[in-house]
């Protein structure tokens, strides 16, 4: 694109934004699960990204689910969230 001055991620969001969106979708799924919804506090949307990620990873493990396919490396996901927070 334009002599590489602009990248596709300038228009659709980079990996950090995609990870954040994927995490939000996973949390919505978790919060809507009838087996777990009673344990979800009303303020979960205000939790830090790291806490949200930890909850989703634990939920995945407990349920044998794969909600974050592009975040298969949890350490890389945490690093991405920490980098975007600074």
Spatial neighbors of 76 by CB under 8 A, at least 6 apart, are: none
Q: Give me the residues of the chain with pLDDT under 70, please.
A: 1-14, 70-77, 81, 84-86
Buried/exposed 14-52: b ≥16 CB within 10 Å, e otherwise: eebeebbebbeebbeebbeeeeeeeeeeeeeeeeebeeb
pLDDT in tens, 18-40: 888 888 999 999 999 999 999 99
The CA distance from 56 to 71, in Å, is: 11
pTM over 0.85: no
Q: Please tell me the predicted confidence (pLDDT) of residue 47.
A: 92
Judge whether 29 and 60 are in contact, CB under 8 Å: no
């Amino acid at each position: 694109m334009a002599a590489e001055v602009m990248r596709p991620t300038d228009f659709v969001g980079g990996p950090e934004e995609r990870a954040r969106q994927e995490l939000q979708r996973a949390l919505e799924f978790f919060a809507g699960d009838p087996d777990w919804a009673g344990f979800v506090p009303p303020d979960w949307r205000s939790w830090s990204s790291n806490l949200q990620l930890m909850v989703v990873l634990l939920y995945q493990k407990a349920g044998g689910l794969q909600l974050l396919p592009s975040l298969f490396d949890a350490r890389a996901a945490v690093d991405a969230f920490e980098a975007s927070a600074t």
